[in-house]
Structure 1
Amino acid sequence: MKVLFLSNAASIHTVRWVNALANRGHEIHLVFKKDDQPRDNEISNKVILHSLKYGGNKAYFTSAFELHKLYKKIKPDVVNAHYASGYGTLARIAKLKPLILSVWGSDVYDFPYQSKIKMNLIKKNLLYADKIASTSNCMADQVRKLLNSNSVDITVTPFGVDIEKFSRKNESQNKEKICIGNIKTLAPKYGITDLIKAVRILKDNLVKKGLREISDNIVVQIYGDGMQREEILDLIKQLQLEDTVELKGRIPNHEVPAALEKMDIFCLTSVFESFGVSAVEAMALELPVVATDVDGFKEVVENDVTGIIVQRKNPAAIAKALEKLVLNKETRLEMGKNGRNRVIELYDWNRNVDTMLELYKSIS
């Protein structure tokens, strides 16, 4: 099958989709704006790359003629545009068909509500598509809400994990330290400052209960980089957590399993998530997950089975859930095993790719 894949080549989500499809023997043409270039040589050489002439938001409009010419040259069996607001607009203006439009999150949760013009734009893009794909059921419901129709057919194509790569290679070792981890961009919507505040509360509560040794043995590892790095470093110093919290920096996706394997608890404090891929990755490594009550996490994490769901923007609630897991190793291990089983059942990447290919075949 010949696929024109229209998406940001710098995104790990794009990289994983095109690599998986190309490795299945399909001819994949990845098309992207000038400023969405691939990085870190992560894209397979089996994928054919096409960089458009223009970059920036204007390119979603000004690149239509160039893209249509490329489309006529490639003659794809199907077009898959990712991100309804940007590349969805470009696909519609360039008159690409048959079109599957994959929604990602902020394109349907945030963008439409910024103005009436943007709301109309999203609706046009969604209605132009032959099929719509979503990584989660909650985001599919959001699309139906935008279109004011509960009958819109949307295929859920979860962004799962390679369950072989994301598996525990070593049995948990008896160790004194208890590692709480997080892997996210250091940006406000991911609530990293709430995690830092929760750790301070957690340690203080343990000391008040006469458990200073346990408090002293807690370490926190946060992987990622972003605009809030300096603010977070300042908060760590302010709360006197320099010996507890470590900012490890950004790591490529292939290093994530090894980082997760060093952790005992995974803690996600986002104020918005349309799908919880980071929770899926942690659960695959048999980690219990403390996560905020945003739609994406509530769909992925089964409360009191694979982790604990807490109120967002509430450091005290986060601290309480962390304390429960810090003090109960058996609960951590049980939730971790349950999480791994849930990932195998629902978020096996190979089966997720099968679902996408079936969707392609249905309109090609």
Structure 2
Amino acid sequence: MKICYLGDANSIHTKKLCCFFRDKGYDVSVISLNDGEIEGVKVYSMAMKIENQGNSIAKVRYLRNIIKIKKLVKEINPDILHAHYATSYGLFGSLMNYKPYIISVWGSDVYDFPKKSFIHEKLLKYNLKKADLILSTSKVMADETRKYIDKDILITPFGVDIDKFKTNNMNKTVEDGLVVGTIKTLEEKYGIEYLIKAFQIVKNRNKNLNIKLKIAGKGSKESDLKTLCKELNIENYVEFLGFVNPNDVPNIFNSFDIAVFPSILDSESFGVAAVEAEACGVPVIVSDVGGLMESTKPNYSSFVAKRKDSNDLADKLERLLLDDKLRKSMGMNARKYVEDNYNCIDNFNYINNIYLDLLGKK
């Protein structure tokens, strides 16, 4: 099979998908707006960063790239043309008039883009209408997409490598005490300040409890979050780990006893980091955001806390911190939940079956 993806060659999700089908012996190509490399995959870079250019220049380059991409697609002549992101790459794919053509929605393309203006909404509807199939990583995002198109939408989650993300207690020591942690970009929308405040509440209510908070990631709010820790007099119990190499993420999750993802967004397409933590046998606490909750099984592998509510988050943290049996059982449940639902090999094989079925219908 010959597959051509329209998507960002630097995206970890694009890379994992390409590598899976490359290893199946398929001929895989990626047409990307950014420079990038994927071993064993032909990457055609348009090297166009629209957000850094003037409006008129961006439009001219867009038009030039439409012509370039159309020529490339004709030369590649794939069995499947698959765009990842319903707007930018989805527009390119829609203008190719190629069959069969698939669009995967990713998040902001359906949550934010169509709300910018009537024209943006019409453009999204046009792109979705041109697709033979639409895929979504979560049910809640599929529901959002159905506001703009009356088509069946197949659910194809972002799974994880369960051989890479697995339980490894070698990183835990008694001296660490109990570790609450998160791995996230340090931006306001991810609600890290509420985690810090919840941690302080728990610490004040349980003076003799040996607990630490580890925060991994970089972002514009890092300085503000460190200042908040000092103001709350918990800076000695909070460790900022900084940028984390993707290869080190499993080890860091394994150093946590509880992982917390307190997003304050109105919508999240999916919670990949929550799935990664669960795969490592770590119980998680997520805020009540659709895609986040869908990536866990509430009251089985996770607890759900109210958005922007440090007191509710503190209550959920306390339940897990003070009940060893509950915390450990939910950790085991978390691993099983991912094995049953979010093993990336199973998820990618499902996409492969979608391709085969589509080609059979063709």
- The reply to whether TM is greater than 0.5 is yes
What are the residue-to-residue correspondences of 1:1-16 with 2, within 5 Å?
A: 1-16=1-16
Alpha-carbon separation, structure 2, partners of 1:355 and 1:224: 32
CA distances 1:265-319 after superposition (whole Å, capped 9, x unpaired): 0001012321111111111111111110100122122221111011111111111
Moved more, 244-253 or 315-324: 244-253
Contact 2:9 2:30 in 1 (8 A): yes
Q: Evaluate the alpha carbon distance shift between residue 193 and residue 37 of structure 1 in structure 2; reply closer, same or farther with a 3 A threshold.
A: farther
Deviation at 1:174, TM superposition (A): 6.3
Contact 1:65 1:94 in 2 (8 A): no
Deviation at 1:62, TM superposition (A): 4.1
| 1:277 lines up with 2:272 in the alignment | yes
Q: Evaluate the alpha carbon distance shift between residue 61 and residue 97 of structure 1 in structure 2; reply closer, same or farther with a 3 A threshold.
A: farther
- Equivalence for 2:233: 240
RMSD: 1.7
CA distances 1:172-214 after superposition (whole Å, capped 9, x unpaired): 85625111111111122211111112112221222xxxxx120
Deviation at 1:242, TM superposition (A): 1.8
What are the residue-to-residue correspondences of 1:122-141 with 2, within 5 Å?
A: 122-141=124-143
Alpha-carbon separation, structure 1, partners of 2:295 and 2:252: 21
Q: Which amino acid aligns with 1:333?
A: K
- TM-score (normalised: structure 2): 0.91
Q: Which amino acid aligns with 1:109?
A: Y
Alpha-carbon separation, structure 1, partners of 2:63 and 2:356: 29
Alpha-carbon separation, structure 1, partners of 2:179 and 2:203: 13
- Equivalence for 2:81: 79
Alpha-carbon separation, structure 1, partners of 2:64 and 2:256: 47
| 1:264 lines up with 2:264 in the alignment | no
CA distances 1:2-48 after superposition (whole Å, capped 9, x unpaired): 11111112222222211222122211111111xx333xxxx541111
Aligned residues: 348
Q: Evaluate the alpha carbon distance shift between residue 95 and residue 261 of structure 1 in structure 2; reply closer, same or farther with a 3 A threshold.
A: same
Alpha-carbon separation, structure 1, partners of 2:231 and 2:310: 16
Contact 1:53 1:63 in 2 (8 A): no
- Equivalence for 1:51: 45
| Alignment match of 2:286 (pick from 279, 288, 291) | 291
- Equivalence for 2:325: 330
| 1:70 lines up with 2:64 in the alignment | no
For structure 1, the residue ranges without an aligned partner over 5 or more in a row are: 207-211
SS at match of 1:66: helix
SS at match of 1:146: coil
| Alignment match of 2:35 (pick from 27, 37, 41) | 37
Q: Evaluate the alpha carbon distance shift between residue 37 and residue 198 of structure 1 in structure 2; reply closer, same or farther with a 3 A threshold.
A: farther
Alpha-carbon separation, structure 1, partners of 2:170 and 2:242: 26
Q: Which amino acid aligns with 2:41?
A: V
Alpha-carbon separation, structure 2, partners of 1:239 and 1:92: 52
Contact 1:7 1:30 in 2 (8 A): yes
Alpha-carbon separation, structure 1, partners of 2:64 and 2:335: 46
Deviation at 1:165, TM superposition (A): 1.1
Alpha-carbon separation, structure 2, partners of 1:230 and 1:89: 39
Identity over aligned pairs, percent: 38
Q: Which amino acid aligns with 2:28?
A: I
- Equivalence for 2:20: 20
Alpha-carbon separation, structure 2, partners of 1:224 and 1:181: 11
Moved more, 93-102 or 280-289: 93-102
Alpha-carbon separation, structure 2, partners of 1:306 and 1:181: 16
- Equivalence for 1:120: 122
- Equivalence for 2:55: none
Contact 2:32 2:47 in 1 (8 A): no
Contact 2:35 2:47 in 1 (8 A): no
Deviation at 1:120, TM superposition (A): 0.8
Deviation at 1:154, TM superposition (A): 1.1
Contact 1:184 1:224 in 2 (8 A): yes
Alpha-carbon separation, structure 2, partners of 1:60 and 1:322: 49
- Equivalence for 1:209: none
Alpha-carbon separation, structure 2, partners of 1:60 and 1:12: 25
Contact 2:169 2:255 in 1 (8 A): no
- Equivalence for 2:302: 307
Deviation at 1:61, TM superposition (A): 4.7
